[in-house]
């Protein structure tokens, strides 16, 4: 199964990109779903950074997957 987005750590957050193919290596510039062009990081701790909320919402929309509900609420549909 091919996923419509890829995740990459960059500039202190985990960002999503719709760019396919190579390009997730260290110091690679990518255009993210939040509209930023960022330089990727491959540090040991980068995958533990917070997720960019703009990228997360857009990634769910692109994939056609509802956002998980906040406690006590209904799912948010894309």
* 69 within domain boundaries: no
pLDDT exceeds cutoff 90 at 39:
yes
pLDDT exceeds cutoff 80 at 21:
no
Entry pTM: 0.77
Average pLDDT value for residue range 42-66: 92
Neighbours of 61 (CB within 10 A): 16
Confidence of residue 1 (pLDDT cuts 50, 70, 90): low
Share of the chain above pLDDT 90, in %: 49
**What CATH number does the domain containing 36 carry?**
2.30.30
**Domain residues for 47?**
6-63
* 22 within domain boundaries: yes
Please tell me which residue, 19 or 25, carries the higher pLDDT value: 19
């Amino acid at each position: 199964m091919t996923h419509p987005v890829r995740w990459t750590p960059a500039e202190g957050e985990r960002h999503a990109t719709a760019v396919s193919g190579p390009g997730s290596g260290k110091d690679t510039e990518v255009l993210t779903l939040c509209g930023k062009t960022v330089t990727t990081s491959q540090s040991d701790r980068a995958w533990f950074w917070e997720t960019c909320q703009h990228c997360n919402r857009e990634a769910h929309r692109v994939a056609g997957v509802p956002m998980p509900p906040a406690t006590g609420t209904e799912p948010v549909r894309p």
